[in-house]
Amino acid sequence: MGIRVNRVLRFGGLWVALAALLITGVVAVGALVAGGYDPGVALSALVRGAAGSPEQLFSVTLVRSVPLILTGLAVALAFRAGVWNIGAEGQLYAGAIAGVWVGLAAGDLPGWIVVPLVLLVSSTAGAVWALIPTLMRLRLGVYEVITTILMNFVAIQLVGYMVSGPLQESRGVFPQTDAISASARLPLLIPGTRLHIGFAVALLLGAALWVVLRSTVFGFRLQVVGQSPAAARITGRIDGARVIFVTFLASGGLAGLAGAMEVSGRTFALYEGLSPGWGYTAIAVALLAGLHPMGVVGVGILFGALEGGAGAMQREAGIPEAWVSGIEALVILAVLAADQGRKWFARTRSERARPAESSVG
């Protein structure tokens, strides 16, 4: 929306995250008590649901962490470059549609061809879904916050159309696709569980992004553009528009990949409401992780546990699962508050230090 966004995005690390978790915990327990629930029962159900058994840990928590890590990386990467991609949800769905389409159309081919093809086409679809907001920002100066959100709603309707139209199951009863064939499904990481290789891919991508941000020229440029577009311009060596273009599409690609992991690794079919809002939860994941790729991996697993445990909390303590998205919003607010606290401490400290510095200089 033609707003000059010129903000320094440095969310501060481990202490801020710990403080934010503490704040969230206190407020969440307070809200549970206020809602008339027993927080002890709720918490033990949460923990048992998330990690009470190897089955819960590997087949629920870690499986759920895969889309959270991938969309979390998508958001963290974009935010680092000052790209406000709130559209991971839509990009995930674009990837899921493309992935299931390839899985259905090319399911006769051997797995070592189909699976990479599914992942490739899905991430491309996610990037294409991000292309419209990208071009609208770069060519027309339309602020991407609104456009990416609007694209989410369009994607959700597109899924609705696909699963009740061109891609509907052959029986034609339910609004869902047929199951993709075995060769288009992701191989299991640990046999006997539902944990698929998507988890390993997510970990590797987290590490790879960390390396890219830390020690490549592109990673450096990306962060300069994110922290100070003016500085990037002044150097004369950084093409800000190009960096934003590449980052935005890469972010969309990561979210699209999350969609592929879901249809090819967990559900094996596409239906409406496939994602319980992972693309939005991803924002909480990325911020709590301080926009650090390896942090995203850790927080993604933590949130996977939270979502995994939420089901048990609903069954055993009667607490609606909808609480979880409330808690995720609380996490974001707590990170913001804790980060303002960090800045305040840093400022007062530097003010105290300033007289000494000036006597030297």
Partner 1 sequence: MAEVALLTSFLAASVRLGVPLALAALGETVSERAGVINIGLEGSLIAGALGGSLGAMAWSSALGGILAGAAAGALVAVVFAAFVVGLNTDQIITGTAITMGGLGFTGAVYQARFGLAGVPLTLPPLSSVPVPLLHRIPVLGPALFEQAPTAYLAVAMGILLWFGFFRTEWGLELRAVGESPDAAQAAGVRVRWTRFWATVFGGLMAGIAGAHLALDSGTFVEGMSGGRGFIALAVVVLGRWNPLWVVVAASFFGGASALQFSMQALGWDVPHQFFLALPYLLTLAALAGWVGRARPPSALAHPWPKTTM
Binding of residue 138 to partner 1 (CB under 8 A): no
Nearer to partner 1, 111 or 276 (CB): 276
String marking each residue 283-302 x if it binds partner 1 according to CB under 8 A: xx--x---------------
* H-helix or E-strand spanning residue 86: none
Binding of residue 354 to partner 1 (CB under 8 A): no
Distance CA 165, CA 22 (A): 47
* H-helix or E-strand spanning residue 117: helix 111-140
How far does Cα 198 stand from its chain's mean position? 14
* From 6-14, 59-67, 121-129, 259-267, span contacting partner 1 (CB under 8 A): 6-14
- CB neighbours of 72 closer than 8 A, spacing ≥ 6? 282, 285, 286, 289, 296, 299, 300
Nearer to partner 1, 6 or 216 (CB): 6
Binding of residue 280 to partner 1 (CB under 8 A): yes
Nearer to partner 1, 126 or 265 (CB): 126
Of residues 165, 192, 211, 234, which one binds partner 1 by CB under 8 A? 165
Binding of residue 116 to partner 1 (CB under 8 A): no
Distance CA 122, CA 253 (A): 8
Of residues 41, 120, 150, 246, which one binds partner 1 by CB under 8 A? 150
Nearer to partner 1, 118 or 319 (CB): 319
Q: What are the structure tokens assigned to 129, written together?
A: 């879904």
Nearer to partner 1, 51 or 150 (CB): 150
Binding of residue 246 to partner 1 (CB under 8 A): no
Backbone φ/ψ region at 195: left (φ over 0), alpha (ψ -120 to 50), beta: beta
311: helix, strand or coil: helix
Binding of residue 84 to partner 1 (CB under 8 A): yes
Nearer to partner 1, 75 or 189 (CB): 75
Nearer to partner 1, 214 or 343 (CB): 343
* From 51-59, 132-140, 261-269, 292-300, span contacting partner 1 (CB under 8 A): 132-140
Binding of residue 132 to partner 1 (CB under 8 A): yes
Q: What are the structure tokens assigned to 113, written together?
A: 């061809």
Q: Nearest distance from residue 297's CB to partner 1, in Å?
A: 21
Of 222, 243, 260, 278, the residue nearest 124 (C-alpha): 260
# chain residues binding partner 1, by CB under 8 A: 57
Q: Nearest distance from residue 35's CB to partner 1, in Å?
A: 6
Contact 134, 251 (CB under 8 A): no
Binding of residue 141 to partner 1 (CB under 8 A): yes
Backbone angles phi, psi at 191, to 5 degrees: -60, 145
Matching residue, tokens 């990479």: 116
Q: What is the DSSP letter of 178?
A: P
Cα distances (angstroms) measured from residue 95 to each of 193, 211, 250, 319: 25, 25, 13, 32
Distance CA 334, CA 183 (A): 44
Contact 196, 190 (CB under 8 A): no
Q: Which amino acid, 165?
A: G
Nearer to partner 1, 4 or 237 (CB): 4
Q: Which of residues 299-338 bind partner 1 (CB under 8 A)?
A: 314, 319-320, 322-330, 332-333, 336-337
Residues that bind partner 1 (CB under 8 A): 1-3, 5, 7-9, 35, 84, 86, 132, 136, 140-142, 145-147, 149-154, 157-158, 160-161, 164-165, 277, 280-281, 283-284, 287, 314, 319-320, 322-330, 332-333, 336-337, 339-340, 343, 346-347
